[in-house]
């Protein structure tokens, strides 16, 4: 499989105003952005900070979206808000629930585009995997999303909105009278591991994660948020400084020759350059360790020699190696490594002093596992195109 697609950052402009009625959606505005918007709509400057906090609490802590229900605001002020603003989140088009409890949401966002988010429940908590782009500009040869062209970047509101959609669906908002810590939270962790390359949509991802981490916002600790990148080196230090969440990197190979094929961004920033940036991350972000994601592809990157090279390469970096058995998708050019091969690889890494968990595939029956995401409309479009081609149209 060749990997020759352009490695570029598409800067796409997304309207903040909703086209239907010109009102501004408050979801995804930073604190400063919200404050400015409130002042522009007629809120006295002296009150703007307090109103910002009150609105954030209603929207992100209580899950309330109807201004009329925001009872600590004066009636006239609620009317002013309703005239100027909306509180909108993506709409659920469909929800699939896997035999193992994993939930995959197909979500519609402005412009009729679709993205997927996946909730993976654990004992008394759960991880939500969110998307940052519709499609992806990169073309990692083992990733289903990579076969879908980039349509557009998600706005900050569409990114944090995925968390709100899942909390709605799981009934994960505090009930009236309940404090925020009364019940265990079902969406307790976030991973930016859905569709798209988060570091090619830096500002929107940053603003969304700031809301997710803020004590008056969604209120998740930065240690419960993991951003996964394929290796956009210039943005790694910025991630540490401006977001400060946990970092995962899609490493997947131990030689540039193989990584060029699997993760083509490697041609731009190779293994040595990537490792230099990663070495600095824990200090800059004050986080303990980096997760190295390593997809196990039969006879491609799964030998004992690979395992030994891997531990040598990362020596000195506080790290955990997450081994991901390859998840198949229609037309994929790879196979999953055999189980005993994955275990032998994990053993070498473990004996070298690194935690080496093997990620149990979740939600495979609904195509919700890592690298299987691709929106249904795009699937439909591709298959119609294929049908047309086969019919000689
Ligand atoms: N674009 C980002 C985040 C999304 S992908 C990135 O590449 O890091 C999330 C993880 O799933 C990445 O480590 C990715 O390499 C991995 N992945 C992609 N396709 C996969 C597949 N078919 N099987 C297993 N893991 C896959
Ligand atoms: Fe994009 Fe990540 Fe898939 Fe690569 S693995 S194509 S960067 S979503």
Q: What is the pLDDT of residue 387?
A: 32
Architecture of domain 91-390: Alpha-Beta Barrel (3.20)
Q: What is the pLDDT of residue 371?
A: 63
Q: What is the pLDDT of residue 335?
A: 96
Q: How far apart are CA 195 and CA 13, in angstroms?
A: 19
Q: What is the pLDDT of residue 353?
A: 95
Low-confidence ranges of the chain (pLDDT < 70): 1-20, 180-181, 369-393
Q: What is the pLDDT of residue 148?
A: 78
Q: What is the pLDDT of residue 206?
A: 98
For residue 128, list its beta bridge partners: 119, 190
Q: What is the pLDDT of residue 385?
A: 46
Q: What is the pLDDT of residue 295?
A: 97
> Could you list the active site residues?
116, 370
230-240 as b/e: b if 16+ CB within 10 A:
bbbbebbeebb
Q: What is the pLDDT of residue 147?
A: 79
Confirm whether pTM is higher than 0.85. Answer: yes
Range(s) within the chain of domains with CATH label 1.10.150.530: 19-86
Take residue 246 and report the two structure tokens written for it: 């946990």
Q: Which of 118, 104, 164, 111 is nearest to 134 (CA)?
A: 111
**230 Cα: distance to centroid of ligand 2 (angstroms):** 7
Q: What is the pLDDT of residue 27?
A: 98
Identify the residue whose C-alpha is closest to ligand 2 atom 8. 196
Q: What is the DSSP string of 110-128?
A: GGGEEEEEEEEEETTEEEE
Q: How far apart are CA 267 and CA 233, in angstroms?
A: 12
**364 Cα: distance to centroid of ligand 1 (angstroms):** 14
Counting ligand 1 atoms within 8 A of each CB, the residue from 371, 372, 374 with the most, and so the one to mutate, is 371
User: pLDDT of 27-71, one tens digit each?
Assistant: 999 999 999 999 999 999 999 999 999 999 999 999 999 999 999
Q: What is the pLDDT of residue 370?
A: 65
Identify the residue whose C-alpha is closest to ligand 1 atom 8. 229
Q: Which of 15, 29, 91, 16 is nearest to 60 (CA)?
A: 29
**143 Cα: distance to centroid of ligand 2 (angstroms):** 6
Identify the residue whose C-alpha is closest to ligand 1 atom 9. 193
H or E element in which residue 23 lies: none
Range(s) within the chain of domains with CATH label 3.20.20.70: 91-390
CA end-to-end span of the chain = 27
Instruction: Answer yes or no: is the C-beta of 193 below 6 A from any ligand 2 atom.
Output: no
For residue 227, list its beta bridge partners: 192, 247
Instruction: Answer yes or no: is the C-beta of 266 below 6 A from any ligand 2 atom.
Output: no
- The pLDDT mean for the chain works out to 88
Instruction: Answer yes or no: is the C-beta of 334 below 6 A from any ligand 1 atom.
Output: no
Instruction: State whether CATH 1.10.150.530 applies to domain 19-86.
Output: yes
Residue with token string 């209120």: 219
Rounded to 5°, the CA angle 52-54-59 comes to 95
């Amino acid at each position: 499989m060749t990997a020759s697609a352009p490695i570029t950052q598409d800067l796409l402009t997304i309207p903040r105003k909703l086209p239907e009625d010109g009102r501004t959606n408050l979801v995804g505005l930073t604190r400063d952005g919200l404050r400015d918007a409130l002042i522009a709509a007629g809120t006295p400057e002296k009150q703007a900070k307090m109103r910002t906090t009150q609105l954030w609490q209603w929207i992100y802590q209580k899950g309330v979206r109807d201004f009329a229900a925001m009872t600590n605001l004066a009636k006239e002020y609620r009317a002013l808000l309703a005239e100027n603003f909306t509180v909108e989140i993506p709409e659920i088009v469909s929800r699939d629930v896997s035999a193992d409890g994993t939930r995959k949401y197909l979500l519609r966002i402005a412009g009729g585009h679709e993205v997927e988010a996946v909730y993976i429940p654990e004992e008394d908590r759960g991880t939500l995997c969110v998307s940052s782009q519709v499609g992806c500009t990169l073309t990692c040869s083992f990733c289903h999303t990579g076969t879908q062209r980039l349509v557009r970047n998600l706005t900050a509101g569409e990114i944090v909105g995925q968390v709100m959609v899942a909390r709605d669906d799981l009934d994960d908002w505090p009930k009236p009278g309940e404090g925020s810590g009364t019940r265990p939270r079902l969406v307790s962790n976030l991973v930016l591991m859905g569709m798209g390359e988060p570091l090619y949509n830096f500002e929107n991802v940053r603003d969304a994660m700031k809301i997710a981490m803020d004590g008056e916002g969604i209120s998740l600790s930065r240690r419960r948020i993991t951003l996964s990148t394929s290796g956009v080196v210039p943005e790694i230090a910025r991630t540490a400084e401006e977001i400060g969440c946990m970092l995962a990197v899609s490493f997947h190979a131990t030689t540039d020759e193989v990584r060029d094929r699997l993760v083509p961004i490697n041609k731009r920033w190779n293994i040595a350059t990537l490792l230099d940036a990663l070495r600095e991350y824990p200090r800059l972000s004050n986080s303990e360790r980096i997760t190295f994601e390593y997809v196990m592809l039969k006879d491609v990157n799964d030998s004992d020699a690979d395992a030994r090279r891997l531990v040598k390469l990362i020596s000195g970096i506080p790290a955990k190696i997450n081994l991901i058995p390859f998840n198949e998708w229609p037309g994929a050019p790879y196979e999953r490594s055999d189980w005993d091969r994955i275990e032998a690889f994990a053993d070498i890494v473990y004996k070298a002093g690194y935690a080496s968990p093997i990620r149990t595939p979740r939600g495979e029956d609904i195509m919700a596992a890592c690298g299987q995401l691709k929106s249904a409309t795009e699937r439909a479009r591709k298959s119609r195109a294929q049908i047309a081609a086969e019919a000689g149209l």
